[in-house]
Amino acid sequence: MQRTLLNLLVDLGAALIMFGMLLTGYVIKFPLPPGTNKEWMLWGLTRHQWGEIHFWISTVLLVLIVVHVCLHWTWIVTVVRQRLGLPRTTQNAIMPDGWVAVLMLAVAFGGFAWMAHLGVQRVPESHSEICRDDAVEVAKQKMPGPLIEPLADHEPNLTWKDVYPIFEKACLSCHGPQKQRGNFRVDQPGELFSSVGKTAWIIPGKGEESPLIEIVSGGRKIALPNQHRLPDADVARLRKWVNGGAAH
């Protein structure tokens, strides 16, 4: 392939990738802002999943930039030396300069990655409360109706339609029609009560023994416990529904 055509293809690909970065960046900034990962999806993808797409698009752009630099390396070295007032170098001396540049970039990236991993800290409790408050505010602004109210003591036995909004708000992005992590869905009541080859997620009349209640209340150790734990008001409503017979 001619170098001119290759340069054209690389530049065109980089332009398209930059446009993709703009689009995905817009999604995670405006339609799905911070705090909406559990409540909202766009075209079947959560905010975190759009963030992953944004990351990989950025990675492809970086690869194209590296290819672009490689194709123009001789010209880059010549121009830099002219600007710095350095003597011209031979073609044989240009390649070692390239390896030095690659080594410097690798060291810089490795140092940043090392410091980033060492700098990870647990979020302070006070900051976690602020983040949860921000997430509630975002949900209030986006949701057409009021959030689920705390459970009233005199409220009669609940039914599936009373508790489904909890599943829809907190669980559907990972366990719904678009995605079924662990081969499990919460939008189909039959799966919650199925006990084929395992204990059912919900045991009617036994809220404390139901695995689902243990998970959403933080009582069972599973992967990503913070993402599965629900607010106390939602857990209380689900527990009352189960203890009342889990009518569906």
pLDDT band at 148 (very low <50, low <70, confident <90, very high): very low
Residue partners of 77: CB distance under 8 A and separation at least 6? 89, 94, 97, 98
Single out the residue of 199, 197, 172 nearest to residue 184, CA to CA: 172
Least confident interval from 20-29, 88-97, 123-132: 123-132
pTM of the model: 0.44
Kindly report, residue by residue over 114-124, the tens digit of the pLDDT: 887 887 676 55
- Amino acid identity of residue 118, one-letter, is L
pLDDT for the residue numbered 127: 44
DSSP symbols for 195-240: -TTS--S--TT-GGG-HHHHHHTT-S--SSHHHH---HHHHHHHHH
Dist. CA 79–CA 92, nearest whole Å: 17
Kindly report, residue by residue over 164-222, the tens digit of the pLDDT: 898 888 888 888 888 877 777 888 877 788 765 567 888 888 888 888 888 888 877 77
